Structure 1
Amino acid sequence: MFRILPAFRRRAAHGSLANSLTAILLAALLLTPQLLQAWGREGHRALALIAEKHLSRKAAAQVKDLLGDKSIADVASWADEVRNQPEYKGTGSWHFVNLPLGMGYADFERALKAKTEVNAYQALQANIKLLGDKKQPREKRIDALKFVVHLVGDIHEPMHVSRAEDKGGNDIQLQFQGEGSNLHRMWDSGLIHAHGMSDDKLAAENDHPDHASRLGWENSSVEQWLFESYLLSTQQYAEVPSGSKLDEQYYKKHIGEVQLRLQQGGIRLAQVLNETLK
């Protein structure tokens, strides 16, 4: 199983102190400014559609109880859609993590855990904990489920673990097949749109992991998921300076990485929900 939840359970054993700390974190998260976008709708839906196929019976039943007629694919982009609503306006920084380039895994993990600014790493952990706590109000658990679905997707998009100074690649302007874009948008939706598949077909195409790969993905930690994205965004910063003109060769080179991240994210989202809702 992925390795973040046992730590939550150990902390939860401390009772009211753990609950108080979680409440403080969630309150702090709501006060932070909005910044970046996420996977496009197709990417988030495809990732959630993959996850749906790997939910346990217990997790699927609890998802249905919380969401009713909606599926996790139906709510996969909800966290982007509500950002500008007053109730959720402080959740913008929940969608990404900013870190300097050039770190190996050990330094990356230390820097990630030392960050005081609220970010996707903190938000995902807090919402997993809230989702798994059946003493919480139903409405809060429903929101937590929607955020977990979305945030697992976000941290598998490489440009969501990147540099603050260029807003995760949003300020790196480029052209792709003759049209203006930027590095962040290329990985959110540009490469997926160039692939030309619906979210259903995209999910079906990328839901065939071999047994060894699936086990490896499920047994990795959230910190490792983020580091994988960090390595890919580092590669993109080196490959795509501002003003680049990208073509079909760029698409062919990187669409496989997009597909891999969707597949990994879907398998891991299912594992998170299976473990949290069992």
Structure 2
Amino acid sequence: MRSLSRLLRRAARTAASLTAAALLLLSSLDAAAWGREGHRTIALIAQKHLSNKAAAQIKELLGDKSIADVASWADEVRNQPEYKGTGAWHFVNLPLGYGFGEFNQQLKAKTEANAYQAFNDNLKLLADKTQPREKRLDALKFVVHLVGDIHEPMHVSRAEDKGGNDIQLQFQGEGTNLHRMWDSGLIHAQGLSDDKMAADYDHPDKQLAAIWAKSPVEQWLFESYLVSTKQYAEAPNGTTLDAEYYKKHIDEVRVRLQQGGIRLAEVLNEALK
């Protein structure tokens, strides 16, 4: 009898472990899928604006793959031993309340690894044709991804709540957090594929697109910082978000995806001219 009880307890523990593992896997896949959708949308828009020279060099580096195919590569490898130091490359943490001048000063003074530093370093490496092909290939994939991260507002936010990950919210009857809302929740609520988003969004005003393309990366980061600052005030911990929140902010998401695509094409065209 005691043996049977031990077997039952062991079976229960095993089932619980398997269930937890399965839930963790599903959660990871869900986060990767929707995060991948936003990154692919930016890359798909950028592809349409590449110069012939840039497109040819990208093909030399990627072969049969496109920049959209590798847009989430940097997320997929961040826990691999050879890339374990790249986790901090995906965000910038700064206190709230800065105007652009002080924000720019504090951004450039940061010594720890961050998205700003990683973007500049990898863009420089990509443009240097004396570097080995494999290094330039990795640099290309990081640049594609980091432009996307920089345009996601919660990737330029506060350290104390892990970029909004610790701010728990309710949306569409489910628990989420502020970071996930902007990574994937608002995109998911549209119900559009990445191909459809890229096709629908890639029609900005030409003069406005030209301004976006020529703006410096510090401006991209500050734009995200301003949006994330508003979100901390608008969606504090414990808030239930409704359809009005979606209607209010989905256009901001669309603009950030547009800007990311136009700007990604511009930096690739410049680096690979």
Post-superposition offset of 1:37: 8.5
Between the aligned partners of 1:238 and 1:137, the Cα distance in structure 2 is 47
Match of 2:132 in 1: 137
Post-superposition offset of 1:164: 0.1
Match of 1:45 in 2: 40
Structure 2 length-normalised TM: 0.88
Match of 1:87 in 2: 82
Between the aligned partners of 2:143 and 2:97, the Cα distance in structure 1 is 29
* 8 Å contact kept, 1:39–1:157: no
Structure 1's unaligned 5+ residue stretches are 1-35
**SS in structure 2 of the partner of residue 44 of structure 1:** helix
Between the aligned partners of 1:203 and 1:43, the Cα distance in structure 2 is 10
Post-superposition offset of 1:187: 0.3
* 8 Å contact kept, 2:34–2:188: no
Residues 88-129 of structure 1 show CA distances to partners (whole Å, capped at 9, x for unaligned) of 111000000000000000000000000111100000000000
**Larger-Rg structure:** 2
Structure 2's unaligned 5+ residue stretches are 1-30
Residue of 207, 210, 222 corresponding to 2:205: 210
Q: How many aligned residue pairs are there?
A: 243
Post-superposition offset of 1:38: 11
Post-superposition offset of 1:215: 1.0
Between the aligned partners of 1:242 and 1:204, the Cα distance in structure 2 is 35
* 8 Å contact kept, 1:39–1:187: no
**SS in structure 2 of the partner of residue 181 of structure 1:** strand
Match of 1:248 in 2: 243
Residue of 106, 112, 136 corresponding to 1:111: 106
* Structure with more of its chain in helix, by fraction: 2
Between the aligned partners of 2:206 and 2:178, the Cα distance in structure 1 is 33
Aligned CA-pair RMSD: 1.3
Following TM superposition, where does structure 1 have runs of at least 4 consecutive aligned residues deviating by more than 2 angstroms? Answer: 36-39
Post-superposition offset of 1:211: 1.2
**SS in structure 2 of the partner of residue 91 of structure 1:** helix
Counterpart amino acid of residue 162 in structure 2: K
Match of 2:186 in 1: 191
* 8 Å contact kept, 1:161–1:229: yes
* 8 Å contact kept, 2:126–2:137: yes
Match of 1:12 in 2: none
Q: Return closer, same or farther for 1:37/1:161 CA change in 2, 3 Å cut-off.
A: farther
Between the aligned partners of 1:80 and 1:39, the Cα distance in structure 2 is 12
* 8 Å contact kept, 2:126–2:140: yes
